[in-house]
Amino acid sequence: MSRYVETNAKIKPCPFCGINRQYITADKPAGVTYYGVQAHVAQVHCHACGATVEGMTSDDESAVRLAILKWVQRAQYEERPKPIRTQQGRARA
Ligand SMILES: [Zn+2]
Protein backbone atom coordinates (compact mmCIF):
# COMPACT_ATOMS: atom_id res chain seq x y z
CA MET A 1 0.00 0.00 0.00
CA SER A 2 1.23 3.47 -0.85
CA ARG A 3 1.98 6.01 1.83
CA TYR A 4 2.20 9.77 1.45
CA VAL A 5 5.67 11.30 1.78
CA GLU A 6 6.36 14.71 3.31
CA THR A 7 9.25 16.61 1.77
CA ASN A 8 10.80 20.05 1.87
CA ALA A 9 12.32 19.49 -1.55
CA LYS A 10 11.77 22.19 -4.16
CA ILE A 11 9.51 20.65 -6.78
CA LYS A 12 8.95 22.47 -10.05
CA PRO A 13 5.43 23.06 -11.38
CA CYS A 14 3.94 20.25 -13.45
CA PRO A 15 5.70 20.01 -16.84
CA PHE A 16 2.40 19.09 -18.47
CA CYS A 17 -0.20 21.49 -17.04
CA GLY A 18 1.93 24.10 -15.22
CA ILE A 19 0.04 23.74 -11.93
CA ASN A 20 2.18 23.69 -8.78
CA ARG A 21 0.30 21.14 -6.67
CA GLN A 22 2.13 17.85 -6.36
CA TYR A 23 2.13 15.03 -3.85
CA ILE A 24 4.52 12.15 -3.39
CA THR A 25 3.80 8.54 -2.56
CA ALA A 26 6.11 5.64 -1.71
CA ASP A 27 5.39 1.97 -2.07
CA LYS A 28 6.98 -1.48 -1.88
CA PRO A 29 5.18 -3.40 -4.61
CA ALA A 30 5.06 -7.10 -3.71
CA GLY A 31 7.24 -9.27 -5.87
CA VAL A 32 9.00 -6.42 -7.62
CA THR A 33 12.75 -6.60 -7.28
CA TYR A 34 15.48 -4.15 -8.20
CA TYR A 35 18.81 -5.80 -8.92
CA GLY A 36 17.73 -8.73 -6.79
CA VAL A 37 16.43 -6.76 -3.77
CA GLN A 38 12.91 -5.66 -2.84
CA ALA A 39 12.05 -2.62 -4.94
CA HIS A 40 10.95 0.66 -3.37
CA VAL A 41 8.94 2.82 -5.72
CA ALA A 42 8.23 6.52 -5.17
CA GLN A 43 6.04 8.66 -7.39
CA VAL A 44 5.53 12.39 -7.79
CA HIS A 45 1.92 13.02 -8.80
CA CYS A 46 0.25 16.15 -10.15
CA HIS A 47 -3.03 16.88 -8.35
CA ALA A 48 -4.39 18.78 -11.33
CA CYS A 49 -3.75 16.56 -14.36
CA GLY A 50 -2.67 13.23 -12.86
CA ALA A 51 0.80 13.21 -14.43
CA THR A 52 3.12 10.84 -12.58
CA VAL A 53 6.89 10.42 -12.54
CA GLU A 54 8.40 7.37 -10.86
CA GLY A 55 11.68 6.51 -9.18
CA MET A 56 12.59 2.92 -8.29
CA THR A 57 15.54 2.01 -6.07
CA SER A 58 16.37 -0.31 -3.16
CA ASP A 59 15.15 2.01 -0.35
CA ASP A 60 12.37 4.56 0.22
CA GLU A 61 14.57 7.58 0.74
CA SER A 62 16.56 7.27 -2.46
CA ALA A 63 13.43 6.31 -4.42
CA VAL A 64 11.82 9.59 -3.32
CA ARG A 65 14.98 11.53 -4.24
CA LEU A 66 15.09 9.84 -7.66
CA ALA A 67 11.42 10.51 -8.38
CA ILE A 68 11.84 14.20 -7.48
CA LEU A 69 15.01 14.43 -9.60
CA LYS A 70 13.20 12.93 -12.60
CA TRP A 71 10.24 15.28 -12.11
CA VAL A 72 12.56 18.31 -12.06
CA GLN A 73 14.46 17.04 -15.11
CA ARG A 74 11.18 16.60 -17.00
CA ALA A 75 10.13 20.14 -16.09
CA GLN A 76 13.52 21.50 -17.16
CA TYR A 77 13.24 19.63 -20.48
CA GLU A 78 9.96 21.44 -21.17
CA GLU A 79 11.60 24.79 -20.27
CA ARG A 80 14.53 24.28 -22.69
CA PRO A 81 15.02 26.78 -25.50
CA LYS A 82 13.14 25.58 -28.57
CA PRO A 83 14.71 25.78 -32.06
CA ILE A 84 13.20 28.27 -34.48
CA ARG A 85 11.21 26.49 -37.17
CA THR A 86 11.46 27.69 -40.76
CA GLN A 87 8.51 27.46 -43.12
CA GLN A 88 9.95 24.19 -44.41
CA GLY A 89 9.77 22.87 -40.87
CA ARG A 90 13.52 22.47 -40.48
CA ALA A 91 15.37 23.77 -37.47
CA ARG A 92 17.69 26.71 -38.10
CA ALA A 93 20.99 26.59 -36.24
ZN1 LIG B 1 -0.23 18.52 -14.14
Query: Angle at CA 28, nearest 5°, toward 52 and 68?
Result: 35
Amino acid, single-letter form, for residue 21: R
Judge whether residue 25 has pLDDT over 90.
Answer: yes
CA of 10 to the centre of ligand 1 (A): 16
Give mean pLDDT, residues 41-64.
Answer: 96
CA of 37 to the centre of ligand 1 (A): 32
Asked if residue 70 belongs to a domain, the reply is yes
CA of 36 to the centre of ligand 1 (A): 33
Domain that holds residue 22: 3-81
Judge whether residue 92 has pLDDT over 70.
Answer: no
Asked if residue 90 belongs to a domain, the reply is no
Judge whether residue 52 has pLDDT over 70.
Answer: yes
8 A C-beta contact, residue 61 and residue 37: no
CA of 25 to the centre of ligand 1 (A): 16
Q: Is 61 helix (H, G, I), strand (E, B) or coil?
A: helix
Give mean pLDDT, residues 7-30.
Answer: 92
CA of 21 to the centre of ligand 1 (A): 8
Give mean pLDDT, residues 26-32.
Answer: 93
Domain count along the chain: 1
CA of 22 to the centre of ligand 1 (A): 8
Give mean pLDDT, residues 47-76.
Answer: 95
